Chain A
């Protein structure tokens, strides 16, 4: 019964989406021409609200079916089990192809609702068009769900119990990874809808950028967090000690992130200077297109991994058609309408705008190279060539040369003024930073003699970015030059968006330091370790004391106890596990990690080995991963920066003014 309610809700949502996607669009067009629009423009809001209600009802139905273990639903049978803990019964809803697509449209309708709730001050025509475009996207995805991936498919006869959720997905890190990732992917659909609506209207101005920016920011925050969660999960769950593998699935989320980051920065230029308008619109379209490609790559089964649930070729063809219509259609619209956009303000190459443009070029190049590296094996395979894989060496060789100038420019850009900047003066202000950075590099080169010079480069970049960002803050507030109370007053007057930038840039510096430490200085030891035997890794002594068989809620496991000490001082006891899940009989490795500011002590348990002599030993894999916790801390700082920026006053109030008040607004912006 519940499943049928969900199914019908989905069909109703589909019908509503067709209405939402067409009538307001036509109505807004008639309204612009001054003709009677039959009230069609006004249909957008109730349609979006209804859309949200019906899709959330469908989503709720599926969730209830999972929680109550309704094994007459084939999705529930394939991905759940009555012994599954409640948290994972819920996360199993999106731990499969059908459910994850439902989550996708659910989030899409949620954003539609947000437009209705927070977009009261949007011009009527623009709001109707934005909601219409959202409706059209919804039509495509609902069609896809209803015809190729219906989550409410019944099984007859219903089996007694389910086949269980993939044990690798039974983890808190991965339970919340897909929702955040989707919030990011789908959030960029807002920027897309605004861009397409602006193209139809033929008008892009600072007010437009001001409406687009918060949505992009919110999506960016969610995507950053989602990628961070995914990386964290891979780090502790897969037991390989690494945090980023340049796996196609990871790349699929990184590419939209790079494009979205570029979009955030170029939207600032439109907002503040009314320049780079066509580019920003194009970037908004590209960012969402890349999000769609990301979804496609991961979901269609083109890439095989833990994420790709679909092996059904009709699904792949359907998604491909969806991609072609969405991306092709919006790009054609862009080619047709973009020349009609009024050209914006001018700026010199050396200026804030110039450096933001440089940021955009570099980020786009980075996104492009990652995209090529990800698609090249597929392309070669499709044309019947050799089977190849493009691994980390490729991405390191292409990504790094782009990242270095990007980080260099990140520090210089904020020091330049809008329109025309003074590079020499900016560099002079950075002299202290340069000295500090070179000191760090020299220190690394000295202490890490014989190590990889890349480590010094990475730490140098992190130091440059961190100290550069801090210096800009200090100089802006004139700390130490004017009385502290004056500095404080200046600090209170800075907009939150500024602090958001400082936090995000500083967070990236912390991430870079973490990545450098974790990839350049890690030490790894694999051995067959006897009970009682001590192994030394990076100055720490790891003693295997016991290995015991234990039972978890839906698995059995071997748990090792490994005492860690340094110079006779006891530090911690690590308990890595090797689990075997009851239903799927699938083994997983649960690494044990002890984190500190210096790095992670990371232990994974391997197989038991019986010697000819009857002695027993266990394969253990022990790492010291320096600075890795910094990565997660840095990601959180970046997200915090995004949230602080999102809380900026100008996103909350004063957004609706357009055209008539624009001149007044511009003078206000030019502080």
Chain B
């Protein structure tokens, strides 16, 4: 690396060229690269600050007194016999529970294929003034035995998790075959 330290860039048109040493060129490149890194870092930090969506269990929502309008995710089990579809409407109401606390949820749209009572679910949206969760997105994942890890965590926190039952999908998943 050091043997050519004083190389100069040979150019056919000498009129605009000033001697540019290898060292200085490397310095420029490093400075430019640092500039990019800082810009990208700033971008990432500001985007992280604005766009993080926190996940809460129903108990945590009530404990932490989440403000209405704040964009969050909630997760738990869909309470048995809580799903109500208004006649002729595409809005669906159901309750999400961690078996300790329960939050009512309203969702307008088509529920995912694997949405079932008694199964794990994650909903993204915000609370309204009445404490009802307005979901913009409902996720029930791709497998009939699937338990979202956040939901499993929420159940463990509320002390309702049956150890060893997860492989059989027995945690509240009565609907699972």
Contact = CB atoms under 8 A, between A and B. Distances in A.
Interface of A: 166, 168, 239, 304-306, 339, 343, 346-349, 357, 361-362, 365, 368-369, 372-373, 376, 386-391, 393-394, 397-398, 401-402, 419-420, 526-528, 584-589, 604, 606-607, 609, 611-612, 617, 619, 621
A415 to B, nearest CB: 18
Contact of B48 (A376, A386, A589, A612): A376
Contacts of B113: 239, 586-589
B1 interface: yes
A129 to B, nearest CB: 23
Contact of B9 (A348, A368, A585, A586): A348
A251 B97 CA distance: 31
B65 interface: no
B161 interface: no
A388 B55 contact: yes
Contact of A391 (B28, B32, B53, B85): B53
Contacts of B55: 386-389
B111 to A, nearest CB: 8
Contacts of B53: 388-391
Contact of B50 (A372, A393, A526): A393
Contact of B108 (A347, A348, A357, A526): A526
A45 B144 CA distance: 47
Contact of B148 (A304, A349, A611): A304
Interface string B6-30: 0101010000010010100100110
Contact of A388 (B11, B54, B149): B54
Interface stretch (B39-47, B98-106, B127-135): B39-47
A346 B7 contact: yes
A526 B90 contact: yes
Nearest to A392: B51
Contacts of B153: 387
A584 to B, nearest CB: 6
Contact of B54 (A362, A386, A401, A585): A386
Contact of A362 (B4, B36, B88, B90): B36
A390 B22 contact: no
Among the interface residues B28, B55, B109, B113, which one has the most CB atoms of the partner chain A within 10 A? B113
Nearest to A579: B113
B149 A304 contact: yes
Contact of B142 (A166, A419, A606): A166
A338 to B, nearest CB: 9
B110 interface: yes
Given A389-B73, A609-B88, A619-B110, A361 B32 contact: yes
A373 B50 CA distance: 13
A390 B109 contact: no
B44 A390 contact: no
Among the interface residues B33, B88, B111, which one has the most CB atoms of the partner chain A within 10 A? B88
A365 B37 contact: yes
A33 B56 CA distance: 63
B36 A609 contact: no
Contact of B36 (A361, A373, A389, A619): A361
Interface in B154-177: 177
Contacts of B52: 388-390, 394
Contacts of A368: 40
Among the interface residues A339, A362, A388, which one has the most CB atoms of the partner chain B within 10 A? A388
A584 B43 contact: no
A387 B54 contact: yes
A346 B87 contact: no
A271 B147 CA distance: 51
Given A394-B48, A398-B40, 20 more contacts: A306-B143, A346-B22, A349-B28, A361-B33, A365-B39, A373-B48, A387-B55, A389-B52, A389-B55, A390-B52, A394-B51, A397-B46, A397-B51, A398-B47, A420-B11, A526-B109, A526-B110, A586-B143, A586-B144, A621-B110
A107 B5 CA distance: 44
B36 A398 contact: no
A611 B20 contact: no
A346 B144 CA distance: 60
Contacts of B44: 369, 372-373, 398
A578 B32 CA distance: 54
Contacts of A365: 36-37, 39-40
A402 B47 CA distance: 13
Nearest to B43: A398
A611 B7 CA distance: 84
A353 B125 CA distance: 47
A390 B40 contact: no
19 contacts: A166-B142, A166-B143, A306-B142, A348-B9, A361-B32, A362-B36, A368-B40, A376-B48, A390-B53, A391-B53, A393-B50, A394-B52, A398-B43, A420-B11, A586-B143, A587-B113, A588-B113, A609-B85, A612-B87
Contacts of A304: 141, 146, 148-149
B114 interface: yes
Interface in B37-91: 37, 39-40, 43-44, 46-48, 50-55, 73, 85, 87-90
B54 A391 contact: no
A346 B103 CA distance: 65
B102 to A, nearest CB: 19
B144 A584 contact: yes
A343 B28 CA distance: 16
A397 B150 CA distance: 26
B40 A168 contact: no
A612 B86 CA distance: 10
A420 B25 CA distance: 13
Nearest to B144: A586
A142 B71 CA distance: 45
Nearest to A385: B54
Contact of B43 (A166, A386, A401, A606): A401
Contacts of B143: 166, 306, 586
Contacts of B48: 373, 376, 390, 394
A346 B55 CA distance: 52
Given A372-B44, A604-B110, A390 B20 contact: no
Given A388-B53, A587-B113, A394 B47 contact: yes
